[in-house]
Amino acid sequence: MGMSPTSRRTRTRALTGLGALALAASGFAAAPAAQADQPVRETAGQTHPYRHGAVPTKEDNANANANSAAAQRSSNLRYGGGVDGIGVTTGAPKVYLVFWGSQGTDANGNTTLSGDPKGIAVRAQQLFKGLGTNGETWSGVMTQYCEGITKGATSCPSTAAHVGYPTGGALAGVWVDSSAAAPGQASGNQLAAEAVKAAGHFGNTTAAANRNVQYVVLSPTGTHPDGFNTSAGNFCAWHDWNGDTTLSGGAAPSPYGDVAFTNDPYVTDMGTSCGQNYVNSGSAGLLDGVTMVYGHEYSETVTDQNPAGGWTDSTGYENADKCAWKGTGGVGGAQNVAFATGSFAMQGTWANDYNGGAGGCEISHPVVH
């Protein structure tokens, strides 16, 4: 999906927010149980430098491509040197899903939410449970990237610390924060603060405990985190870390070390602009955009955990940005990927080592250990 500087480092894209119109009582209500400096590019994140890896809407992505040189879209990623010593996720990635509201549980033990008429909460849980299962090699594309190498490098020696593979599933926990209704339009600072709060909730109270973790903050339908689904937000999602001083509202303090987070709004509120029926037709494709966008942000977080200290190209694109809305099928187009938990529409991501080192989008890659 289209993914979607005024501080000490330039930011290009981010997908952070969780905010919601306080629908009824509290957004997600109980359901019945059943640094590298990078130039800012002309996309959804341009005037919001913290929107790292922002998945732009299909329309915004098309406009950006029309104004971008082919050479920029085809250039390989380079290592940014790390931020606070962090470049990529080097251990087995752990994903914690954070919902603002209150909860119920379905027959399969998945959290369900009444502010979730399309069933995004269950789909997200199944997606992250499925990563690293069924021998899937979609995650393998990311494992070619590493940290601890020279800034500006475009390849990794075998001895470097590579991105980890999520063996057995990436989902590490689910929390529905029902202490208050989700904000109608959460700022970047509020989203980061919610992620820090989640770290405390899950007992991840040290920098080491958060080293290979990402917190995915999800909002109820009808909400506008960071301007999602408004004229101020032509994006589908973005990611960042709590210490980014360019976040709207400023950086969020953390007593638990650096905290990586994603703003995953209620994607289906944007319909086909954020991927509905991009791969599958009819009801089977209703949540195509959800898994493509959420997968997009996951892949960018593990390869650029504290933006932009990880891997970006000369224009600031991250690995999934370069392959967003590329079409379907083939080596690098969006298509269904089979996990142990089901089949999910996923987009390809950029591989520097593809095509003899020329680079390109891939949907599958051998796992690099």
Check whether the bond before 308 is cis (ω within 30° of 0).
Answer: yes
Report CA Rg, the chain: 18
Provide the pLDDT confidence category of residue 12 given band limits of 50, 70 and 90. Answer: very low
**With DSSP H G I counted as helix, E B as strand and the rest as coil, what are the percentages for the chain, rounded to 5?**
25, 20, 55
- Distance between CA 2 and CA 332 in Å, rounded? 14
Of the two residues 78 and 38, the one the predictor is more confident about is 78
- pLDDT for 111 equals 73
Domain positions in the chain are 55-362
Q: Read off the pTM.
A: 0.86
56-67: pLDDT as tens digits: 887 777 766 655
- pLDDT for 13 equals 35
